[in-house]
Amino acid sequence: MQAVTSAVAQAKLRLERARARYGGIDIVVRTFKRFSEDDGNSYAAALTYYVFFSIFPLILASVSILGFVTLGNDDLKARIFDAGISAFPLLKDVLKPGGLSYFEDNAQSLAFISIALALYTGSGAIVALEHALNKLDHIGADEEGTFVEKRLRSLRWLAILGPAAIASAGLGGMATYSDEAFGEGTALSLVVAGLSYAGGFAISVILFVAAYRFLSKAERPWRAVLPGALAAALAFEVLKTLGALYLATGAATREATFGVFKASAALLIVAYLISRVTLLGAELNAVLVERRRTRQSATTT
């Protein structure tokens, strides 16, 4: 037991020395420490809840609208469906081509219900994100506004952030789909994949910058939210790539572990990881601001 205690003490000492010597290590440690002190895991879990339950109404709305707008054109319907599945691999276990006929027959009623549910759950996700960002920035609840104000504000930002998030995820998926569309290893395939990755990353950066800049009441300048947005966007791109690889392998293991809930489990895991990445990016911005203030106060004194 004494050996374990000594080893832990030595590890902590080495970490503190590394923090003192390398600013990057100090920033990473401060970010995760602040995230823990601010109870970031609880806010990430709450955000995951709303994100997870907003996915299915969005899927239902998209598929029902697809069945409505392509009614009578089976070839176009099949091509759009296959492209959508390739762009969003997680949907492969959720949507089946045979189910499209039901959505075609009930396109109008299902589209209305699913859009209404998507607006409600999506606005709830924006409110949860706004609340989490304010808490991480140590903003009081009284400054967040009334229930109606928050819901109206969330609908406005849902109309902006929602399509941006879908576009970013779709571009990442299209990068994987390029080999199938243009031939594996061809010049055109590599160019399309590169442009898709670059476009997805650029949209992700804009998405996170807008969230950190406008959803939090801290009102930080653009340059103060850019580092966290870049880090979160990079992590988001890595998650998309690893998620595609995860879905391409280990299907039998997921089937044995989760059974019929394997698609829901995968979506839940992805929603939680994205929530953590988003909030950690916000904490990174806060840590950098605090370090800058500490240095400025030290130089003035």
pLDDT digits 0-9 by tens, 276-289 = 999 999 999 999 99
Predicted confidence at residue 279, as pLDDT, reads 96
Predicted confidence at residue 93, as pLDDT, reads 55
Q: Which two tokens stand for residue 208?
A: 């996170």
Question: Cβ(51)–Cβ(275) under 8 Å?
Answer: yes
What amino acid is encoded at 78 in this protein?
A: A
pLDDT grade, residue 52 (50/70/90)? confident
Question: Cβ(36)–Cβ(72) under 8 Å?
Answer: no
Q: Which two tokens stand for residue 77?
A: 């319907």
Examine the pLDDT at 76 and tell me if it is beyond 60: no
Helices (H), strands (E): how many in the chain?
11, 0
Three-state DSSP class for residue 38: coil
pLDDT grade, residue 240 (50/70/90)? confident
193-215 average pLDDT score: 88
Q: How far is CA 112 from CA 58, 68, 121, 240, in A?
A: 12, 12, 14, 30
Residue count of the chain, please give it: 301
163-167 average pLDDT score: 76
50-67 average pLDDT score: 73
Task: Give the distance, in angstroms, between the CA of residue 214 and the centroid of all CA atoms in the same chain.
Answer: 17
48-59 average pLDDT score: 82
* Euclidean distance between CA atoms 187 and 178, whole angstroms: 11
pLDDT grade, residue 51 (50/70/90)? confident
Question: Cβ(83)–Cβ(177) under 8 Å?
Answer: yes
Q: What is the pLDDT of residues 25-34, one digit of tens each?
A: 899 999 999 9
* Percent of the chain whose pLDDT exceeds 90: 26
Residue 13 burial by CB count (10 A; 0-12/13-18/19+): exposed, middle or buried?
exposed
Predicted confidence at residue 266, as pLDDT, reads 74
Q: How far is CA 225 from CA 2, 132, 134, 207, 273, in A?
A: 45, 16, 14, 11, 20
Examine the pLDDT at 89 and tell me if it is beyond 60: no
| 16-20, 143-147, 176-180: segment of lowest average pLDDT | 176-180
pLDDT grade, residue 178 (50/70/90)? low
* Euclidean distance between CA atoms 169 and 201, whole angstroms: 9
Examine the pLDDT at 138 and tell me if it is beyond 80: yes
Examine the pLDDT at 10 and tell me if it is beyond 70: yes
pLDDT grade, residue 208 (50/70/90)? very high
87-113 average pLDDT score: 59
Question: Cβ(233)–Cβ(207) under 8 Å?
Answer: yes
Examine the pLDDT at 8 and tell me if it is beyond 80: no
Q: What is the b/e burial string over 200-239, where b = at least 16 CB atoms within 10 angstroms of the residue's CB?
A: bbebbbbbbbbbbbbbbebebeeebbbbbbbbbbebbbeb
Q: Which residue has the higher pLDDT, 298 or 35?
A: 35
If you average pLDDT over every residue of the chain, what do you get?
Answer: 78
Examine the pLDDT at 238 and tell me if it is beyond 90: no
Q: How far is CA 50 from CA 74, 128, 244, in A?
A: 34, 7, 23
Residue with tokens 């080495």: 14
Q: Which residue has the higher pLDDT, 30 or 261?
A: 30
